[in-house]
Structure formats: structure tokens, C-alpha cells
Amino acid sequence: MRERAPGTDRYEAEISLPGEGDWSFSVESWSDPFATWLHVARVKLPLDTDTALVLEEGARLLARAGRRTPAPPP
């Protein structure tokens, strides 16, 4: 899939089917918490808006990621 217009959350795709008939498909998606936080940080920090909140959210995000990361082998 490709984005139709940046920032609009509208995507499109073309598919080729092997013949006539009833077909179905599904679209799977997932969130990207780090990319979302990074976007917010890039907007708010230069404007000095909600700086403490943005930094706290970033710290919590990294702490959660650190807890899920396996320890390196000895």
C-alpha cells in the first residue's frame, strides 16, 4: 500500500486477481509508539510546548522498551 497524500492517513493499493469470482482480503496494521512520540517531540520541543510531558513520555517509552529487550549473553 502507498500513502495517497502525506499526512492524510489515506492509502491505496492495486491487486490482480487470477480470475472472476468472490474474493476477500484484509488489511493488517499496527502502531509505532516510538515514531508517534518522535513526531510529537519534533513538533513540540522546538516550540517549548509541553516539554516536561514530552520528555516524560519519551522516558517511559524507552523504559518499557528496555524491559522487553532480552539481556545480552554473558
Q: Tens digits of per-residue pLDDT, 4-38?
A: 988 788 889 998 999 999 999 888 888 899 999 99
Say if residue 54 is exposed, middle or buried (CB neighbours under 10 Å; 0-12, 13-18, 19+). Answer: middle
- The pLDDT, as a whole number, for residue 61 is 95
pLDDT band, very low/low/confident/very high, at 39 (cuts 50, 70, 90):
very high
Mean model confidence pLDDT for the chain: 91
All cell numbers assigned to 20: 472472476
Q: Tens digits of per-residue pLDDT, 58-69?
A: 999 999 988 888
